[in-house]
Chain A
Amino acid sequence: MTPSDAPKTGQPSVFHTSRRRFLATTAMGLVALSASGASAKILFGTGLPWDSGSIEPPRQVLPGPWTFFTPREGEMVEAIAERLIPADDLSVSGKDAGCAVFIDRQLSGHYGTSDRLYMKGPFQPGLPTQGDQSDLTPVVKYRQGLKALDDHCRRTMGGKSFTDLSPEQKDQLLAAMEKDEVTFDGPVGAGSFFSLILQNTMEGFFADPIYGGNRDMVSWKMIGFPGTRYDYRDHVLKHNQKYTAPPVSIGGRGDWARKG
């Protein structure tokens, strides 16, 4: 410790020495503790610190090339989303709602790599009551699971790939996966892969459109969820009456956006 680093009693030396230390620290030695990777702070006698930019607003997912999936993987996930949420008189399909885009972008973020989760070993199989004990992140589960699904199809469906199957064949296979009646090669089980992709497809279908799915708030319109309106005081006492205002999302409404 250099003399200038030594705390001096009677003045806010903790603040000064620590602050210099924080400024000098560019890399986090530990895991990221907040979304923005903020450093420790000392606050006193300041009132409420307006800390603008300390939290990252969500960023609009834009259409465009896959960021995680290979073209083949993207095609398969779209085909699955199209069967889990088929187009009918209630809504467009999960594929057309953007569920595969949503999953692709999620896998490219912290969700895909489980970096907020406890991923220290030893990894050992547990009881169902102890939750997922796998060391595989969603990124690995998708990569391995999609490959295993395609291999399974080619092996058992006369050389066809998953996307070549008829809608009925796809549904039969997905139903068998759901019941874990299909055996996949590799580390990802058919049942757990099905649960994962069902969960993520539903997330994409119902999440705010800013994340790339639920295109044009299609699921919210279908069920009557008004989205992010944030103030219903005028409707609380209107018992058993339909709420008729159209939904709004974090990014506003489709018809507010610039055309073209």
Chain B
Amino acid sequence: MARKLPRKDVVVIGLGWTGSIIANELCDEGLDVVALERGPWRDTATDFNIGYAPDELRYNARQELMLRPAQTAVTARNNADQTALPMRQYGSFHPGNGVGGAGVHWAGITWRFSPADFRLKSHYTERYGAQSIPEDMTIQDWGLTYEEMEPYYDRFEYLAGVSGKAGNLDGRMQEGGNPFEGARKREYPNPPMMQTFGPTLFAETAAKMGYKPFPIPSSLLSRTYTNPLGVTMGQCTFCGFCTNYGCANYSKASAQTTVLPVLMRKPNFELRTLCEVLKVNLDSTGKKATGVTYVDTSGDEFEQPADLVILCAFMLDNVRLMLLSGIGKPYDVRSGTGVVGRNFCYQMANQVVGFFDPAKYNFNNFIGGGATGMAIDELNNDNFDHGPLGFLGGGSTRCAPIGAEPISKRPTPPGSPTWGSGWKKAMRDSYLSNLSVGCEASSYANRGNFLDLDPTYTDRLGRPLMRITFDFPENDVKMSAYVTKKVAEIVRAMGAQAIDENPRTGPWSVVPYQSTHVVGGTAMGADPSTSVVNPYLQSWDVPNVFTVGANVFPQNSGYNPTGTVGALAYRAADAIRSRYLKSPGPLVQA
């Protein structure tokens, strides 16, 4: 029997990027806010101590900061005819755990989605005709425009101190920035990062071939910066222990380095760590949430009443909590009806590794970070004519050495031995003279890809695991083959002697790491028959429940998601502050 606690105005589930931003905004509104975090407290001084933060075995190989499968796993299968089995260890993607969430170990690449992304189905229909969209491709519009998102992108970028170069300032194109980006009202808060040899060679070569390279927008900071909340961050040192690690320099933007020093001092904010929410409680009508039930480390259950419940956990957990709580109609793959779990998408992570003459090339790839590098956007989204190609979508292409910790980052040319003296020589020769160029590409929704509750496997608390049914749709595989071929042309022109081309091909496997950009499942949109939350991220069915995370993406763009996720947190906070609190209830009539 759960013990009932005194009520709060707001309960926030998960204290990562989105939970921290929303909690801080709602505390400023004077509300009494409690955050429930399933993992431990984490901060820079204690947990990302510079003395032992650079530890590849602990943080990358053994995934110290990631969600442990013993706490929560997922099951996976490629299609509804297979039996899903648990990912006994996380491979393909790495959910975070603890305060800061996956925003602790992210790479820091901070894009805005393109204007066309937010009206994707309309855009493709207008440009290529309705028949260009395959029958089983369930892409859709977001129910809001890039112009509506712009102020929220701006707020997130200034919070995080993003270092970059504008390509489009209020419609005026800027030399050296991304010529394909939507118009922004002002420059990035910080200038671009310095560039090492590899990205510089990539950019010079790409420019000669007619591309327009620009610095990757980076939440690793190019200089010391104090954000609008008064929190100061330090300059990135290119330490090379970045993606999959916490930053010991206070130079990678995260909840820890941007929001928490302010939020944690607020008297109307309370955080309970190692407390896992079991479900959102609904009243007898099923149309109003009364709070949440959670369990702490003693195993005891608590009921936390609240007027407003905001799901800010990792996207898979947000979808799972909706299903476990009976919020929204679950998707049924056979009939194609229902919405919760629908439009689960991923990211097509394509890569080309170039092997250069070790006598002439020394890239020093250990000097780098998750977002230090150069990019081109000609191969992304609909920035090229898809008319004759037979597929839709594309990806952002970038050369960004993220570090070269040698357990995981010591590629050898195709055909090299994997052990023995032959391997040693090949590996030693390639270590400083290989260079990787990636194309992080779109993943478009498909009728057969979805999330639901597993019928067999349960977590430590006896609740069903989330079940992923997913494979790469034919469209996305064709797209990957195309963009990877284009990327390989650039790498060849850079002077590589040997090339390893890795376009993403099916079937999707849970084993090799690909990307943590799993998205969708509770799409946002203007039409309740194809979305779970309205354009203000408010549940259509239970209006005092909001959810923020990549789970509201209707499909994935050829960009990393965090910039958009952060902007959506500001969007939801603004909707609650300026509209919902004045008149609690649906912000959009279904």
Contacts and interface: CB of A to CB of B under 8 A. Distances in A.
A250 B238 CA distance: 18
A210 B55 CA distance: 10
Nearest to A227: B54
A174 B420 CA distance: 11
Contact of B419 (A126, A198, A203): A198
A54 B273 CA distance: 13
Contacts of A57: 49, 51-52
A211 B57 contact: yes
B266 A45 contact: yes
A130 B85 contact: yes
B104 to A, nearest CB: 13
Nearest to A126: B85
A90 B424 contact: yes
Contact of A118 (B6, B73, B82): B73
Contacts of A250: 51-52, 54-55
Given A9-B6, A44-B270, A84 B420 contact: yes
Interface in B466-517: 507-511
A33 B71 contact: yes
- Among B46, B260, B269, the one with the most A-chain Cβ atoms within 10 Å of its Cβ is B46
B82 A88 contact: no
A39 B298 CA distance: 8
Contacts of A49: 41, 43, 264
A47 B264 contact: yes
A178 interface: yes
B19 interface: no
Q: Interface SS of chain B: helix, strand, loop or mixed?
A: loop
A30 B276 CA distance: 12
Interface string B35-50: 0001111010111011
Interface string B406-421: 1100100000001111
A43 B41 contact: yes
Contact of B431 (A1, A38, A223, A236): A223
- Among B55, B69, B410, the one with the most A-chain Cβ atoms within 10 Å of its Cβ is B55
A172 to B, nearest CB: 12
Contacts of B61: 203, 207
A17 to B, nearest CB: 9
Contacts of A40: 272-275, 296-298
Given A42-B270, A51-B41, A120-B457, A83 B239 contact: no
B196 interface: yes
B361 interface: yes
Contact of A131 (B57, B261, B264, B511): B511
B52 A30 contact: no
A90 B297 contact: no
Interface stretch (B86-94, B112-120, B154-162, B388-396): B86-94
Contacts of A174: 419
A66 interface: no
Contact of A232 (B6, B240, B457): B240
A159 interface: no
A240 B361 contact: yes
Interface in B49-107: 49-58, 61-62, 64, 68-71, 73, 76-78, 82-83, 85-89, 91, 98
Q: How large is the interface on A (under 10, 10 to 19, 20 to 34, 35 or more residues)?
A: 35 or more
Interface stretch (B178-186, B362-370, B523-531): B362-370
- Among B40, B270, B421, the one with the most A-chain Cβ atoms within 10 Å of its Cβ is B40
A231 B237 contact: yes
Contacts of B98: 34
A222 interface: yes
B421 A86 contact: yes
B237 A226 contact: no
A224 to B, nearest CB: 5
A229 interface: yes
Given A1-B3, A223-B432, A45 B269 contact: yes
B336 interface: no
Nearest to A38: B40
Given A21-B300, A44-B271, A231-B239, A58 B49 contact: no
A190 interface: no
Contacts of A242: 362, 364
Given A233-B235, A240-B362, A58 B47 contact: no
A48 to B, nearest CB: 5
B413 to A, nearest CB: 15
Given A43-B41, A54-B40, 13 more contacts: A14-B5, A29-B299, A41-B272, A42-B271, A50-B45, A58-B52, A127-B78, A129-B511, A206-B405, A211-B57, A228-B54, A232-B367, A233-B238
30 contacts: A14-B6, A25-B297, A31-B460, A33-B68, A34-B39, A38-B297, A40-B274, A43-B271, A44-B269, A45-B267, A48-B264, A49-B41, A55-B47, A55-B49, A58-B52, A116-B69, A128-B509, A129-B509, A129-B511, A132-B88, A132-B89, A203-B407, A206-B406, A207-B61, A225-B366, A228-B55, A231-B237, A240-B362, A241-B364, A250-B52
